Structure 1
């Protein structure tokens, strides 16, 4: 895969299988997220990807340093300034994104997003009223790779949909059963009042 240049350097995203190998010994839950989560749900390639997202739960964040021992991990401080993240630092609630690469000057390989929890519930970082049991937020893709449930990924993509988000929606929509469509429609209604995707969920 060719490198993609961004303001903070180059991206050469790891594959989901490579992420699974890196995270195989991590003693906590994680899920492939973003466009790759949609592809894992669909079961085939949908489009090109400039990066790869992995979701972890905020209480588990320090396990990332153990899984990526020797790598550089940079925290994205709002409104998006990257800074080195030290192995013992607990990131504040405002920091949700971590960029990771094998070493200085290397391309970025993966982005980790931290999501919130309350007991055994996942809580959306965008709206704490949007939540689900942790046991319910993921599915398993090919080769047993854990990935975020497609309706939750679409919820995150719905804030400011880009062309690639529309492509992902069209790819996975036929696979969403009535319960998943209903959850997504209700989440969109709660957050946005109305949303152009809702008509496609009925």
Structure 2
């Protein structure tokens, strides 16, 4: 996730059109729910770092431990405005993406010797590899991303719906093909044919 901006920009702290949920602290309902797994040690310190910089109109949807090269372990956070990776160390190297550009967290078939599960965070420009403690963490993050993205793309009164050109739907179909290929349900030839049909082009030669 080499998208990087100054950590916790002021623009993400307050939205006049949204209700205020009050100052951010561990006992605020959304934060307490996201941290119900009770982080300790380095996770707890990373949690305090991102809580300090949350806006009063920004809700926390999910928080899970994640590993990202070259930083190592930290916390992956989904809010109503953005996704964040907050490393365990005390540096200001907080990585961030606005929720509007995030498409999916795609679970890969790979696990390592510690039982951690690989996933790829897909945005409008690239994908970034992360490792999570298990598939339930990936599912929780995906649910949060999907919900937040829907809030940003929902048609509001007085506004026309955004023209996405069906890119989200096409990506979901492509992600399903990738999962089928990784599990062995599709071989290389079937995968090439399916992708060609999706994009309306002739299959490439095998």
Q: TM-score, normalised by structure 2?
A: 0.27
Which structure would you say has the larger Rg? 2
Q: TM-score, normalised by structure 1?
A: 0.27
Q: Which of structures 1 and 2 has the larger relative contact order (alpha carbons within 8 angstroms, sep 6+)?
A: 1
